[in-house]
Structure 1
């Protein structure tokens, strides 16, 4: 593991986001395994919230899917979210993320397309589509 990833792992423990992620994983009865670059992967998460293919809390990446789902572009997307916890000093990321969801819904009616955290993590890598703001859509786009 590179030094930068070790630093991220330490900072996300100290800022309490990774311990919260481990608690969420335990409550959701996810099967845990070590992932790349200091991430912890949790498969088979059983709580129906949040509605996403995968989500990250600190260095813990959780999914309802089986092993093998968290790979490639999706795992890179979630890895970027782990860095966002460092930048946001841990737990403040959660309310900031909720504000970003609300802003995105107001702008385009979608939770991710204009969410600054999802955009910085590369929307397409997280399996999200880009959508124009509601005020710039043509009539055909309005019905999507």
Structure 2
């Protein structure tokens, strides 16, 4: 592994101090992922066994976690590590753990606007949708429409909603 740039060392220290990397290591351990050093001071954790979140890879601090092997993941998407590298920086800019609820809000807003958790998510867009393996969904208010339909079903015919949930 080559030496880290000053910026990469700063990111590594910041994500350690802001507790996002320790949380990432804890999540990787809980999911029985095997850890190894990765590019740019990242830690790669592969073989993650917990089915949440449903993603090819996700980053917590400087830890990139995947249920797959990274060589397979990178073979299918050569730019995925560039995408995850940006997420590691986003933890720094958000002060660490506040990134998680901010990301959840951005994913919810994206779903409401596009029906997809990534397309309108400012964090995913900044990291590069295509680099992360995402396709851009158009703004369609699909999530808003889904909620409106469910609300209408609930208010007009609550039994129908109960039947749909079976």
TM-score between both structures, scaled by the size of structure 2: 0.79
Between structure 1 and structure 2, the one with the greater Rg is 2
Structure of greater relative contact order (alpha carbons < 8 Å, 6+ residues apart): 1
Q: 1:79-98, aligned counterparts within 5 Å?
A: 79-98=85-104
Quote the offset at 1:69 in angstroms: 3.4
Q: 1:50-65, aligned counterparts within 5 Å?
A: 50-65=53-68
Whether 2:125 is the aligned partner of 1:119: answer yes
Quote the offset at 1:70 in angstroms: 4.9
Quote the offset at 1:38 in angstroms: 0.5
Q: Which residue of 47, 55, 58 corresponds with 2:50?
A: 47
For structure 1, the 5+ residue unaligned runs are: 136-144
For structure 2, the 5+ residue unaligned runs are: 142-166
Instruction: Give the paired residue count.
Output: 135
Distance 2:72 2:101 in 1: 27
Aligned with 2:44: secondary structure? Answer: strand
RMSD, aligned CA: 0.9
Structure 2 equivalent of residue 133 of structure 1: 139
Distance 1:69 1:33 in 2: 15
Distance 1:14 1:97 in 2: 20
Structure 2 equivalent of residue 5 of structure 1: 8
TM-score between both structures, scaled by the size of structure 1: 0.91
